[in-house]
Amino acid sequence: MNLWEKIVPKVRLEKRKLRIRKKIFGTKDRPRVSVYRSLKHIYAQAIDDEAAHTLAACSTLCKEIRSSLKGKTKSEQAFIVGQHLAEKLKSLGIKKIVFDRNGRKYIGRIQRLAEGLRQGGIEF
C-alpha cells in the first residue's frame, strides 16, 4: 500500500465534512448532534452553533454507562450511547435535533446511534 492510498480517502472525508458543515447548522432549540467514530469508540455531542457551545456529550468512554457496555458489540454500544445522549437532551428540554454524520455513511454504528436517539424520543 503506497502513501496515496492512505491519504486520498482521508482527504475525501475532510472535503465531504466541510461541504456538509456549510449546510447543517444547529441552534439552542434544535442543536446539531455531531458523531465521530474511531476504531474502538464512538462519540456524540449536541452543539449549539450560534453560541459555539456544546450542550451535551456522550461516548463509549462515559463513566455513567461504561459498566453497561462490557461484553457488548460495538453496534450495541453505539445504540446505548444514543439512548444515553437522548436522556441528556430530554433533561435539557430538547426534542428535535439536526443529525451530523460527519461525512460518514448512514450505516453500521452511526445508524445504531441514530436509532438509539430515536428510541429515546428525539426527532430528526
Residue 124 located in a structural domain: no
Sheet holding 32-37, edge to edge: 53-59, 42-48, 32-37, 98-100
Alpha carbons 120 and 108: distance in angstroms, whole number? 19
Alpha carbons 117 and 77: distance in angstroms, whole number? 13
Least confident of 10-24, 41-55, 61-75, 88-102: 10-24
Average pLDDT of the chain is 94
Residue 55 located in a structural domain: yes
Split at pLDDT 50, 70, 90, the class of 38 is very high
pTM, whole model, 2 decimals? 0.89
pLDDT at 121 (0 to 100):
96
CATH of the domain at 104: 3.30.420.100
Residue 54 located in a structural domain: yes
Domain encompassing residue 46: 3-119
Average pLDDT estimate for 67-74: 95
Split at pLDDT 50, 70, 90, the class of 1 is low
- Domains in the chain, number: 1
Residue 30 located in a structural domain: yes
